[in-house]
Amino acid sequence: MIAERQAIGLPFLLPMTEAPPPLVRVDVSAWRGGFAPGARTLPEEVAVALTYDRVTFAVMMASPCDLHDFAVGFSLSERIIDAPAEITDFEVLVLPMGIECRMTLAPDRRDALAARRRRIAGPVGCGLCGIDSLSEAVRPPAAVVSHLVVTPAFIEEALAKLPGLQPLNRESRAVHAAAFAVPGQELIVREDVGRHNALDKLIGAVALSGQSGGVGIVLLTSRVSIELIQKTARLGAGVIVAVSVPSARAVRDAAAAGITLVAVARADGFEVFTGPERLSD
């Protein structure tokens, strides 16, 4: 999982011949009152092209792992498909400058995509880069219908388990995670250098597992912004729990979608911004 690289003098832009590991161990010169040799584990990021029927739709910088989940989750959250089965063929190709997730769509989905094709190309952490329409960027989230009611104890237990299920972040301290918690089941967790990518990977993993988003809650190790509300609404989960503060727009959109938004979640408690009816003592 971890590759060894010499940090000084290494040409990092060498053409790729195989998919890189998600973590890289590099040498550093550390100052602690004096210089001394050291090492640090860093998350890798790779240009990942998402293509449909040999045409590129998006290029995202992402962690090179769980790419099937990423491709399916991105396709669902971007409304390119409604179900994983509408991707009739999937292949990962390692190219000299990055990785291609090559997908073939069912004919009706192919025709629908052709009618609304647009390109997105953005850096990590910018989920709206490249969107060429303001109305698309701030589209209303889907209405969520979920009858799941959870307790604070369930939320606290899920949050307590999450760090132990983040191997990339445990090694690097620089990777986001998104998790799906269902009462009585183990957490599904996906990690990525980009918080939007982590959630897309999770959406793909949940969809491929055959579960409905309404049976569980989404946990995020990042702040909550509008696009994360849109993606969670697309999944159909009724509760988001985040460790950081949401944007004001995210709170408004969560309320509009019928999502319970819990944030500033710590070991000693959390704050409920919308939808308190899904929480029970």
What are the residues whose beta carbons fall under 8 Å from the beta carbon of 22, sequence distance 6 or more?
A: 1, 43, 44, 63, 64, 65, 168, 191
Q: What angle (nearest 5°) sits at the alpha carbon of residue 26, between those of residues 23 and 32?
A: 125
Examine the residue annotation and report whether 129 is marked as an active-site residue of this protein: no
All structural domains of the chain, each given as residue ranges with its CATH number in brackets, are 152-278 (3.40.140.10)
Rounded Cα–Cα distance for residues 141 and 20 (Å): 35
pLDDT in tens, 222-236: 999 999 999 999 999
pLDDT at position 237 is: 98
Taking CA atoms, 186 is separated from 61, 87, 165, 168, 208, in Å, by: 29, 27, 10, 19, 16
pLDDT in tens, 118-161: 444 444 444 444 445 556 666 788 899 999 999 999 999 999 99
**How sure is the predictor about 10, in pLDDT bands with cuts at 50, 70 and 90?**
very low
CB atoms within 10 A of CB 17: 8
Rounded Cα–Cα distance for residues 5 and 11 (Å): 10
Classify residue 90 as exposed, middle or buried by CB count within 10 Å of its CB (0-12, 13-18, 19+). Answer: middle
Query: How does DSSP assign 25-66, residue by residue?
Result: EEEEEEESSSEEEEEEEEE--EEEEEEETTEEEEEEEE-SS-
The first and second tokens of residue 25, run together, are 């161990």
**How sure is the predictor about 4, in pLDDT bands with cuts at 50, 70 and 90?**
low
What are the residues whose beta carbons fall under 8 Å from the beta carbon of 18, sequence distance 6 or more?
A: 94
What are the residues whose beta carbons fall under 8 Å from the beta carbon of 220, sequence distance 6 or more?
A: 176, 177, 178, 179, 195, 198, 199, 228, 240, 241, 242, 243
Percent of all residues in the chain with a pLDDT value above 90, rounded to a whole number? 81
What is the average pLDDT score of the chain?
Answer: 89
Rounded Cα–Cα distance for residues 124 and 47 (Å): 10
Rounded Cα–Cα distance for residues 70 and 136 (Å): 21
